[in-house]
Structure 1
Amino acid sequence: MFRLAMLAILTTSAPVLAQEAGAPSGTPQRVRSVLLYGDEQCPKPQNADEIVVCANGGDSPYRIPKNLRERPVTPASTSWVRRAELVDEVNRVGVPGSCTPVGAFGQSGCTVQMIQRWAAEKKAQKDKDALVP
């Protein structure tokens, strides 16, 4: 019985004996999370009971990430209205307002086409400027 009692005492006290004498016990009193931008350095803990966790936030807190700045135009992102307009433009060859040397009145659409291109470029620039904060 004495052996069993000694064995129980030794097995329950083994984790206590295995701990280092100088190691702090328990959980830290303060955990500080810091988000760093650019070349900022991670701050040092103010005392032994504090843990500082640092993460890189990119170039600037006011800058939109590069992958969200410009949206690529792909066939999947083109609307059905624009697809129908493209089919209509292709099929207008030779009719009035088509801006083509083929057929009668083909030249009358060149000015209209130039104005439409200008308006599209202006709208694209406005949309691009709206994405930048």
Structure 2
Amino acid sequence: MLRTVVLAALIALPGMAYAQDAQVDTPPQRIRSVTLTGDQKCPKSSGGEIVVCSTLDQPYRIPKSLREDKPIAAQNQSWVNRAATMDQIGRVAGGLPDTCSAVGTGGQSGCFMQRNQAYAAERRAPASETNTTP
């Protein structure tokens, strides 16, 4: 039984190789790129055409090349961000803990936290610059 299967495969192998070579004789006339959303199916290709399909993960999101990663100007920020900034300024002026001031009990830990946050921001900056350039 195994011999007949192997023999049939060996006989069919040259025929399959010839069929593949026959398709390569003429290059495609057109290559079409299609972006699919949701449950769409890839369209069938016609003679002399290759269809390349890709799916769009987040169809309603602005593409990365068009996004702006720059900080938002103060006058364009929400009142929540403005209130948080004013709160932080008040904490520093009052010498509250974790504010990096010479006055108060938490000056050491606050300075350490600020240095860590600055370091993390510096590390993120080159990564965001490389992601935005195509």
TM-score (norm 2): 0.38
Bigger helix share: 2
Of the two, which has the highest radius of gyration? 1
TM-score (norm 1): 0.39
